[in-house]
Amino acid sequence: MLLKWTILIFSASVALSSCTGASGHDMELLTHSPWKYEKAAFDSDDEDGVSFNALDPRIIGFEKDYSIVFRKDGTGAMKDGKAKTRHHPGPDSLPFLWSFQNKDSLLYFQDQYYRVQTLNNDHLVIYADHKLGGVSSRYTIVLRH
């Protein structure tokens, strides 16, 4: 019985904390309809988010066929839009948790915090800056409806 209450309280706190601080407008833009990957790439030169040094090979492959669904309760799923085949037996849906932070300027998604560069009716552009071995790079994800 205690385990059931613990799970219930934890689930409710995750759902409530994911919505804390999110504006209704940004929440509606993010959750209105599924998103598709347009591109994801690394930029280590000028970090302008326009010219990229290297595209993420995961997006070039199967991941570009996924729709990303953000739900208002702080849950989401990556849904495979490609029919299952013998060579692609992956799951129909990969669940995740997401949340807005810092007055909607940060988005927690795919186990990482991303800065929100653009969120409008057509595009979501998020990025994360990394430093590895003294080299700075920016990983940018561009999603579209």
- Each domain of the chain, given as residue ranges in start order, spans 2-144
pTM greater than the 0.85 cutoff: no
Residue that is written with structure tokens 């934890």 in the block: 10
Task: For 2-144, give the CATH class.
Answer: mainly beta
| Cα–chain center distance at 35 | 9
The CA-CA-CA angle for residues 88, 73, 114, to 5°, reads 70
pLDDT tens profile 68-123? 999 999 999 988 776 555 555 555 578 999 999 998 999 998 889 999 999 999 99
Which DSSP letter does residue 140 get?
E
Q: Mean pLDDT lowest for which of 73-77, 102-106, 125-129, 131-135? A: 131-135
HSE-up of 134 (CA within 13 Å, CB side)?
A: 0
pLDDT higher than threshold 80 for residue 46: no
Calculate Rg over the CA atoms of the chain.
17
pLDDT: which is higher, 50 or 10: 50
